Structure 1
């Protein structure tokens, strides 16, 4: 919609992701763009071939970018660590 990339396949996400640049998947204005965060993750996964574990790691990294104090971030880290221990190692 913004014209930043001619197609999803040509979006700069792949270059940044492959360069290990910190990224987060967001929906700045889900009403205007008629999307949801779940749909954005689906588009990233299906377009760039990311696994569930890779999507999880993206979400985990995004917790570092929230506009919150250190205690909230610490709490988010703990949630992701617990889920990783339960889901990613079994």
Structure 2
């Protein structure tokens, strides 16, 4: 989270997430913001009480925002589908 709000609890993520607005958690400049994608997911989970399933769905949905061609997106969707299937059977 960029520090654009006084506290993480007041970040607009909650409003967007709760209204099911398309969104993704990302780090487009981890060097500048001194964070990692894992840390951003951790902050979202711990601040907003997201479950592992909700985090998985956020990551899965982020595929739609990737700046890549349809074949790459198709491949990424398949990775998530396999992971979801494995999770259901384990």
TM-score bucket (shorter structure): over 0.9
Q: CA deviation at 1:4?
A: 2.4
Counterparts in 2 of 1:69 and 1:2: CA distance versus 1, 3 Å: closer
Alpha-carbon contact 1:53-1:88 (below 8 Å) kept: no
Unpaired stretches in structure 1, ≥5 consecutive residues = none
Q: Distance in 2 between matches of 1:28 and 1:50?
A: 22
Report the number of matched residues: 90
Q: CA deviation at 1:38?
A: 0.3
Relative to the length of structure 2, the TM-score reads: 0.93
Q: Distance in 2 between matches of 1:58 and 1:87?
A: 16
Counterparts in 2 of 1:88 and 1:35: CA distance versus 1, 3 Å: farther
Counterparts in 2 of 1:18 and 1:3: CA distance versus 1, 3 Å: same
More moved, 27-36 vs 47-56: 27-36
Unpaired stretches in structure 2, ≥5 consecutive residues = none
RMSD: 1.5
Q: CA deviation at 1:32?
A: 1.2
**Residue deviations 1:17-59, cap 9 Å, x none?**
0000111001111111111000000000000000001000000
Counterparts in 2 of 1:5 and 1:54: CA distance versus 1, 3 Å: same
Aligned counterparts, 1:20-59, within 5 A: 20-59=20-59
